[in-house]
Amino acid sequence: MEAQSTPVNYLPIIFQMIVALGFVVVTMVVTHLVGPKRKTSDKLIPFESGIESIGNARQPFSIKYFLVAILFVLFDVEVIFMYPWAVNFRDFGWAGVIEMFIFMGTLLLGFIYVLKKGALDWE
Amino acid sequence: MEITFVIEKFVFITVIFGLSLLVAMYSTLAERKIAAFLQDRVGPNRAGPGGMFQPLADGVKMFLKEEIIPTQSNKFLFIAGPSLAILTACIGSAVIPWGQDIQLFGKTIALQATDINVGILYIFGVVSLGVYGIMIGGWASNNKFSLMGAIRAASQNISYEIPMGLSIIALLLVTNSLSLKDIAEQQHGFQWNVFYQPLGFLIFLVCAFAETNRTPFDLPECETELVGGYHTEYSSMKLGFFLFAEYINMFVSSAVMATLYFGGYNYPGMDYMNSLLGPTFGPLLGMAVLFLKIFAFIFFFMWVRWTIPRFRYDQLMNLGWKILIPLAIANIVLTGLVTALVNGF
């Protein structure tokens, strides 16, 4: 196993965030100051292929997207469970392999249920 | 912790950051040149010799355009969207090992911002954050096209994250480490992971295309249906940020693929070259090799873009959920069994 990471190891990530944030803020401010400002009321309405916009975009949309998001949360959590096993694969031996295969079998059953229910069918 | 450590890291990070911006800038020119080549055209050739200054001209143009914030939009989120998109694209490169330790000015410097033992998880987390920029920007525009583009982007990115995570698990069974430095070191010689994980690499590659919203998975900005997709309402540098973030993402994911599967900075005959060139230029050559691999991947991204048409939305979802996830799970089972049977415990 590799050495444990100490908090100092994570400092450069914060440095990188500072550098990136600096770049973003400076660019945003410069472009705000440099660009021309000739605003008209027609220019500032939402674009809808040139016709007058009807209502606004704050309205319900297909439930399918929500379903995909919920399924993602479920499966992604299961996937994260496999990481420690994969890293310690050699230490766990055959017992670990069998246990993880049972876990993956259960996961697969849930996956087949989702498919059979038609949760992922788009028409 | 000393002040020299902080300075050293800041300088290194700034250099890598500048380098990634430069690569992203010239990727835009390369994209147009490659598109022109594939379509039997000349491509941009007015700004400078062979169009060399085209990216600079584009950048200046982006700065000088009028900033438009639609009246019905949510102003704060409208600005936060593109900023977040480029911010998450820029911080991903922190854990990528660019080369072996280098001797510079009598000091040994690691060619990596930081070697944390959860490097892959960090990359994975940053990639997941990328969807927020698009989602927030698209929603804040208060435009129906933007909203649809943003929802598509969110749903596509999260769908392809699952097979991506699963393909990495199969890779971890081979490497037994989450640190990118360890993984790169293990591939020393010609022990590249792609030979042990060909199927895993293919799955990862497809997911990388989907995560960076590149053709054939660029449905979020599908111009035939959604005008401009999630950035319909954007102009000036905010639009530039969205477009630029895509190229930086492409650079970072190419670097990750090269490191995970294609040996990173390793190349055959590396020990001999290192003994020949010494501790300063040897690692630099390794870094050059890594960049060559990255450019090869970026070229592949562009080649695919101008060759393959766009997927339909249901095809995209079917590929992600019904083909890639079962394939990735089969790959884990296969890798686990083969590793256990061949190597024993």
Report the amino acid identity of residue B163: P
Cα distances from B17 to residues A78, B144, B249, B277, in angstroms, run 34, 35, 13, 27
What total of structural domains would you count in chain A? Answer: 1
Nearest by CB to A108, from B94, B238, B329: name it: B329
pLDDT value, residue B98: 87
Closest CA to B72 of A40, A56, A61, A42: A56
Contacts of B176 in chain A (CB under 8 A): 86-90
* A49 domain residue, yes or no: yes
- A3 contacts in B (CB within 8 Å)? 117
- Chain B, nearest residue to A67 by Cα: B155
- Interchain contact A102–B (C-beta under 8 A): no
Is residue B14 a contact partner of residue B7, using CB atoms and an 8 Å limit? no
Interface of A with B in 24-83 (CB under 8 A): 24, 27-28, 30-32, 34-39, 41, 43-49, 56-58, 61, 65, 68-69, 72, 75-76, 79-80, 82-83
* Angle at B268 (CA atoms; ends B261, B94), nearest 5 degrees: 45
For CA atoms B72, B74, B78, B79, give the dihedral sign: positive
State residue B1's pLDDT score: 59
Quote the domain boundaries for residue A102. 7-116
User: ω before B216 within 30° of 0 (cis)?
Assistant: yes
Residue B121 has, within 13 A of its CA and on its CB side, a CA count of: 15
Residue B133 has pLDDT above 80, yes or no: yes
Contact state of B318 with A4 under an 8 Å Cβ cutoff:
no
Chain A residues with CB-CB distance to B25 below 8 A: none
Q: Which one has a higher pLDDT value, A43 or B92?
A: B92
Distances B116 to B191, B261, B289 between C-alpha atoms, Å: 23, 19, 23
Identify whether A72 is part of a domain: yes
Could you report the per-residue pLDDT of B296-314, keeping only the tens digit for each?
A: 999 999 999 888 888 888 8
Residues of chain B positioned with their CB less than 8 A from the CB of A61:
147-148, 151
| Percent of chain B at pLDDT exceeding 90 | 9
Task: Measure the CA–CA gap between A93 and A85, rounded to whole angstroms.
Answer: 10
* Residue A26 covered by a domain: yes
Q: ipTM of the assembly?
A: 0.85
The CATH code of the domain that includes A46 is 1.20.58.1610
Q: Over range B283-299, report the average pLDDT.
A: 89
Encode pLDDT of B234-284 as tens digits: 888 888 888 888 899 999 999 999 999 988 888 888 878 878 887 778 888
φ, ψ at B149 (rounded to 5°): -60, -40
Tally of structural domains, chain B = 1
- Return the higher-pLDDT residue of B65 and B219: B65
Please name the member of A9, A38, A90 whose beta carbon is closest to the beta carbon of B345.
A90
Cα–Cα distance list, B228 to B140, B225, B298 (Å): 15, 9, 23
pLDDT category, A1, cuts 50, 70, 90? Answer: very low
Rounded to whole angstroms, what are the CA distances from B130 to B83, B133, B240?
11, 6, 16
Cα dihedral sign for B213, B217, B222, B226? negative
Q: Which residues pair with B319 in a beta bridge?
A: none
Q: Which residues of A touch B114 (CB under 8 A)?
A: 9-13
Mean pLDDT of B5-9: 82
Cβ contact (<8 Å) for B67 and A123? Answer: no
Which domain, by its residues, includes B303? 2-342
Flag whether pLDDT at A77 surpasses 70.
yes
Residue A33 counted as domain residue: yes
